[in-house]
Amino acid sequence: MITIEIRVGLGHDTHRLGPGEALRLGGIDVPHDRAAIGHSDADVLLHAITDALLGAAALGDIGELFPDTDASNRGRDSADMLAVACQKIRDAGYEIVNVDCIVHAERPKLSPHKQAIRERIAEILGLAVDCVSVKAKTGERVGPVGRQEAIEAQCIALLERTLRNQ
């Protein structure tokens, strides 16, 4: 008998914003006068995706896998961290079905960049582009996102694993 196991994971990340020339988001650089601040490259979207996938497989979180106390993670490419997490997930027998993401940022407007972001995420995850959704929301000038002090991202991920019972 064959059983399909379905798992759902939720990821969230927040980074402070400071002066800069580009915002690293979803594995690409989006031109902007602010940049996210963090120990790695501070890609809030890839961090949320990484946590969603690890959570769905019950494999911990990004901070456990890539602690900010480890100097080797300083400035690290978040795409590399996501690829490592994906390999752990696949080694556990799971396949990624899809990811659905939301970026909360007052600026820049992300509509012109969403397709490129989707394509880069799909490339990292080894998925078709239509399995990656990226939406953008402003903070309506309220709170840290609305005041452009922070950027946030959320992701929900769906995994499946085929189990062959004897």
What structural domains and CATH numbers belong to the chain? Answer: 2-164 (3.30.1330.50)
pLDDT range class, residue 46, cuts 50, 70, 90: very high
Query: Across residues 155-165, what is the average pLDDT?
Result: 92
Average pLDDT of every residue of the chain: 95
Contacts 24+ apart (CB under 8 A), 74-80: 74/39, 74/40, 75/40, 75/41, 76/39, 76/40, 76/41, 77/40, 77/41, 78/24, 78/27, 78/40, 78/41, 78/42, 78/43, 78/46, 78/47, 78/50, 79/27, 79/43, 79/46, 79/120, 79/124
Q: What is the pLDDT of residues 94-113, one digit of tens each?
A: 999 999 999 999 999 999 99
